[in-house]
Structure 1
């Protein structure tokens, strides 16, 4: 990968993290990574960098064991969360570990998160990892990766979420959809039972929404807000 393409990828990753902080999916903690195409390296934010003012200079490169090979600083303590998933899932090109407000509530209440709006239809089945602890060593990271299996998203009990995608943009958009769906399910439950979409509705909605132009439209919307601040 030539230098300009790598710089563009770093900028995109930094922007995604700033947008997630702005939307309160992460705060002083939380991290996001991207696989460097056709290599055994990943990009991830430095542990000490402020998520609200992150730039490409705060993005470091590590190998798939978590050792820094380029950049200043150290990776987040939960770097095994990223490396073990990348090692097991060649289809995953980007990973976010977030601390979302609404979807985390469902793990605390032990209530299944279900697709209740069209955006929720693209998320697939969302398993819950029952250990509410930091994913900071290879043993527990391997357990998480195994539980994630071929799913795109997994919730961590009383902790947060792990979201995967084939691009940085896709991973960010899934994070947005996850919280939108969780918020609507919670709000509807205050009025009564929050009904799930029917199987046919899920299939149709997922096909309709999860198209490149729609995914990019969501990214562009949030990025435009970021640019105005």
Structure 2
């Protein structure tokens, strides 16, 4: 996919994340540039609600700016350390979701309670609540993420991955939807998980390209 199209997709995804209250004045998203060791990421200073492709910069995996104006976010090591370890990851979103983060504050595990939750897999929690702006902390985070699509950061936020920008965005949507439903059900009495035998069947039905695109298009229509 041409780099310019990736920049436009990334900017659109960040605007949709902001509109959905997954990020605010902070939060960031990145994607690999195919067949290179470069990544695209939003500049640190740009407003997440008005970002355009011009606000996306290209950097290498050491954090050097290759193309574009501005500097990368302070938590750049979060992205670079994951990309170095996970060849399957093509896009990363670092969000500050309200409902999912609340579960880390309460020390209550998130469980698949609705169909969308079936696609999330096991969700580990990173115990350090500080900014992931130091190399050593980012390395620990990347190691704990191994084998998972999502990791929650205690009292901080979430890291959501995908093989495309669309996948990372939709996983963020599903993460928050599942967390919200789990919380609301728990107010009635207890939020029951999906049965183990149903999780894989449900995942196979829900996690299809047409469904992923449908969620993307729905949120895009609201911009």
How does the TM-score come out when normalised to structure 2? 0.99
Question: CA separation in 2, counterparts of 1:159 and 1:16?
Answer: 21
Match of 1:222 in 2: 219
2:53 equivalent in structure 1? 56
Residue by residue over 1:97-137, the C-alpha shift from the partner in whole angstroms, topping out at 9 and shown as x without a partner, is: 00000000000000000000000000000000000000001
Separation (CA, whole Å) in 1 of partners of 2:180 and 2:91: 24
Over 6 Å off, 4+ runs: none
Distance 1:167 1:12 in 2: 10
Offset, 1:139: 0.5
Alignment of 1:56-95 (within 5 A): 56-95=53-92
After superposition, where does 1:69-218 map in structure 2 within 5 Å? 69-218=66-215
User: What secondary structure, in the 3-state scheme, does the structure 2 residue paired with 1:162 have?
Assistant: strand
3-state SS in 2 of match to 1:190 = helix
- What 5-or-longer segments of structure 2 have no aligned partner? none
Instruction: Describe the superposition over 1:187-211 as per-residue Cα deviations: whole angstroms up to 9, x where unpaired.
Output: 0000001000011111111000001
RMSD across aligned positions (CA): 0.6
Q: Secondary structure at the match of 2:160?
A: strand
SS in 2 for 1:181: helix
Q: Does the alignment pair 1:11 with 2:28? A: no
Query: 1:165 and 1:66 mapped to 2: Cα distance?
Result: 21
Q: Which runs of 5+ in 1 are unaligned?
A: none
3-state secondary structure, aligned to 1:126: coil
The SS at the match of 2:72 is coil
Instruction: Give the structure-1-normalised TM-score.
Output: 0.97
